[in-house]
Amino acid sequence: MHIAFCCTDTKAEPWLQGLQAALPGATVQLWSPGAALADYAVVWAPPQAFFDEQTALRGVFNIGAGVDALVKLRLPDATQAPVVRLDDAGMSVQMAEYVCHAVIRHFREFDAYEADVARQEWSYRKPRRRSDFPVGIMGLGVLGERVSRALAQFDFPVRGWSRSAKTVPGVQCFSGLAGLNDFLAATRVLVCLLPLTPDTESIMRKETLERLLPGAYIINVARGAHLVDDDLMALIDSGHIAGATLDVFRVEPLPAGHPFWAHSKITVTPHTSARTLRDESIAQIAGKIQALHRGAPIASLAGVVDLKKGY
Ligand code: NDP
Ligand code: OXD
């Protein structure tokens, strides 16, 4: 079995060693133009040339949850070579930590306390009511569902929005475009955990953000292109939105001088809310390659991407 590794922005050597250790019978190689045909590919944002040359693939494994960079490419026929995304692999607990931290920091006004303490000022703020801070999660998939459960543990009212109808214990669920307005109308903290597709691009724009409860707070941990930057800034200026925690941006790294960097009401982190964990990811991918190689049906694998839906 031959495996080609082609991942931009990724240190290849530890992945190559890890994949080789997990699949001792295989030949695992870093792809370069003109390389031999492989049976399986392990990729992150590969160039089109990779798929143009690799015409014998039987599976494409993405070392992330989001496949927005991948589905823009001309891919092999998915019935011969399914595209498989990471299915949690240690990401959902990180995402739950990150989002709970951001929600609690905002709700408990820890930034204001920090400023008081910097002035050596001992002062209390009036406790806020959780019922005034319903958290709405857009995307109730692998990550959104885990985040919704974690927030419910802190007794926040939790609402969720997905494409198909869902039932998640402790979460008020909405679905489809028909459910979007009702979902937004009673949401105070909006968390984006949608995949980036033509349907979800710029979903957080003036018209949708204005529908949120006054004093809303935005947490974007999905993709930068879900948010219209200028609309967020204008709604913060108008007072309708209290602030935002942003982990993802239209251009990454966030360019020097971008207004988000220094905005007092915006917290920026460098696309780090849920990192790809190498050991967990290698174990998951190696297991799926072995299953496919033994002839397991594609449908039996978790995380197979539906290329029509784009996620
Ligand atoms: P999933 O595919 O498991 O879940 C996606 C969810 O979004 C599903 O509930 C789906 O609905 C819903 N959805 C998709 N399209 C629409 C739509 N048009 N309208 C309403 N709901 C929609 O993805 P994950 O939870 O694993 O990951 C979500 C995203 O998080 C990734 O695509 C990636 O972009 C981002 N991510 C960011 C990371 C970071 O470090 N910042 C790390 C990892 C991921 P349904 O259930 O009906 O299909
Ligand atoms: C992912 C990411 O999609 O890290 O996995 O953003």
Task: Looking at the CA of residue 85, tell me the nearest atom of ligand 1.
Answer: 26
What pLDDT shows up at residue 283?
Answer: 98
In this structure, the answer to whether residues 163 and 123 fall within a common structural domain is yes
246 CA from centroid of ligand 1 (Å): 16
Ligand nearest to the CA of 176: 1
Please say whether the beta carbons of 193 and 138 come within 8 A.
yes
Closest to 201 measured CA to CA, from 83, 68, 101, 39 = 68
Annotated catalytic residue within 85, 163, 188, 223: 223
**What is the rounded CA–CA span in Å between residue 107 and residue 128?**
7
Domain that holds residue 63: 2-89+276-300
In this structure, the answer to whether residues 102 and 82 fall within a common structural domain is no
pTM (whole model) above 0.85: yes
What pLDDT shows up at residue 90?
Answer: 98
Annotated catalytic residue within 105, 205, 263, 271: 271
71 CA from centroid of ligand 2 (Å): 14
Q: Is residue 311 one of the residues assigned to a domain?
A: no
Q: Is 267 exposed, middle or buried (0-12, 13-18, 19+ CB in 10 A)?
A: middle
In this structure, the answer to whether residues 125 and 196 fall within a common structural domain is yes
What pLDDT shows up at residue 207?
Answer: 98
What pLDDT shows up at residue 98?
Answer: 99
Return the residue whose CA atom lies nearest to atom 22 of ligand 1. Answer: 163
In this structure, the answer to whether residues 38 and 144 fall within a common structural domain is no
Q: Is residue 53 one of the residues assigned to a domain?
A: yes
Return the residue whose CA atom lies nearest to atom 31 of ligand 1. Answer: 66
Q: Is the CB of 82 under 6 A from ligand 2?
A: no
Q: Is residue 305 one of the residues assigned to a domain?
A: no
218 CA from centroid of ligand 2 (Å): 19
Q: Is residue 84 one of the residues assigned to a domain?
A: yes
Return the residue whose CA atom lies nearest to atom 2 of ligand 2. Answer: 64
Q: What is the pLDDT of residues 91-121, one digit of tens each?
A: 999 999 999 999 999 999 999 999 999 999 9
Task: Return the C-alpha torsion angle 117, 120, 123, 127, nearest 10.
Answer: 0
Please say whether the beta carbons of 74 and 53 come within 8 A.
no
- Positions in the chain whose pLDDT score sits under 70: none
Task: Looking at the CA of residue 164, tell me the nearest atom of ligand 1.
Answer: 47
What pLDDT shows up at residue 200?
Answer: 98
Q: Is the CB of 66 under 6 A from ligand 2?
A: yes
Please say whether the beta carbons of 301 and 82 come within 8 A.
yes
Place of tokens 């399914």: 82
**What is the rounded CA–CA span in Å between residue 150 and residue 137?**
12
Q: Is residue 124 one of the residues assigned to a domain?
A: yes
What pLDDT shows up at residue 79?
Answer: 93
Q: Which of 285-299 are b and which e, b meaning 16 or more Cβ less than 10 Å from the residue's Cβ?
A: bbebbeebbeeeebe
Helix ranges restricted to H, the chain: 12-22, 48-53, 91-107, 110-118, 142-153, 176-185, 206-209, 229-238, 259-262, 278-293
Residues with CB under 6 A from ligand 1: 65-66, 91, 139-144, 161-164, 193-197, 199-200, 221-223, 247-248, 271, 273-274, 311
Q: Is residue 308 one of the residues assigned to a domain?
A: no
Q: Is the CB of 134 under 6 A from ligand 2?
A: no
In this structure, the answer to whether residues 119 and 168 fall within a common structural domain is yes
| CATH label of the domain that carries residue 109 | 3.40.50.720
Closest to 39 measured CA to CA, from 49, 47, 211, 29 = 29
In this structure, the answer to whether residues 34 and 109 fall within a common structural domain is no
In this structure, the answer to whether residues 21 and 152 fall within a common structural domain is no
Residue 271 annotated among the catalytic residues of the structure: yes
Q: Is the CB of 141 under 6 A from ligand 2?
A: no
Domain tally, the chain: 2
Q: Is the CB of 65 under 6 A from ligand 2?
A: yes
Residue 223 annotated among the catalytic residues of the structure: yes
Return mean pLDDT, the chain: 97
222 CA from centroid of ligand 1 (Å): 8
